[in-house]
Structure 1
């Protein structure tokens, strides 16, 4: 299954939704597809979809999906990483009126270059190739997602202990 999420930003992301729907229609995608369409106006004809889904349902979709395609919002692509899956990230772009600026493009490029654990798609025409060759694309990615929680908790414990409160 392929899971696509465009987040909850109030601008449309028709470009991504329409492209995935076309790939399903044309047989490029041969597995089930579920799209969370958000505030987009394009309604998929060949894929299952809902505008918005609750967080637990989204987490289940991420867990069961072979491929996750997401917009460039950090929360949306961190979830698949936490499930040890490499997401395809298609950032929203200003020129398509999908966001108020190109911060998603800049952020996705930085994350891809610095950490190498996402697949950035900056031209929608490249999405077909990335999906068809997903396993080859992920073979050179490093999935090392660490948490600072333990370090934070240790520092907080040391700070609290330094107060000598009895």
Structure 2
């Protein structure tokens, strides 16, 4: 196993290409020497990056446990998976003006949750570089207890219970908790 830090980049499964983020990830690898693994869906993977189009639940869990920094698109499921694994995810929302999605829902969603401190939003290269560098410098820590607010019902919030069986709440249940929290704040 490599002793270098790992940046996990999760693009989800949307059929729109997201080459902007894979390009940024390739730059991180070149500049920092960190290992980078990309779950790239339908997006072509640059030759200098490791990755897979899709990950099963076990492989995703293992990747999140091993990762020093997690970068994801603005999909709530992957954001919640990263948070549940203790990460403050660096989130790059897909932009429909660039052909990365059908509408601007990820831009709006990420802007909203970034204000709560649940994610580090990165909509341009300088913000992405800063957020990833900060994560690499800090190293792998449980970010649920280091400044990012706990989300009721997620691991790290002992006062809340969310259904989900012996393995805890599902991604959909965790997302529901997050939406409820956001609606209450509005």
TM range (shorter): 0.7 to 0.9
Long gaps (5+) in structure 1: 154-166
1:2 matched residue in structure 2: 7
Query: Which residue pairs with 1:79 in the alignment?
Result: 81
What are structure 2's unaligned runs of at least 5 residues? 1-5, 155-159, 165-186
Note the C-alpha offset of 1:63. Answer: 1.1
Q: 1:38 aligns with which of 23, 38, 41?
A: 41
Matches within 5 A, 1:9-88: 9-25=14-30, 27=31, 29-41=32-44, 43-88=45-90
Distance 1:4 1:151, change over 3 A: closer
Give the paired residue count.
Answer: 148
Provide the residue aligned with 1:119 in structure 2. 120
The answer to whether the 8 Å contact 1:24/1:30 transfers is yes
The CA deviation string for residues 103-156 of structure 1, in whole angstroms up to 9 with x for no partner, is 10100111111x2121000113421222122357x7984240221873779xxx
Q: 1:132 to 1:151 in 2, by over 3 A?
A: closer
Q: Which residue of 1 aligns with 2:173?
A: none
Where 1:116 maps in the other structure, the secondary structure is coil
Which structure's CA Rg is the greater one?
A: 1
Q: Secondary structure at the match of 2:77?
A: helix
How far apart, in 1, do the equivalents of 2:134 and 2:84 lie? 22
3-state SS in 1 of match to 2:161 = helix
Q: Secondary structure at the match of 2:110?
A: helix
How does the TM-score come out when normalised to structure 1?
Answer: 0.80
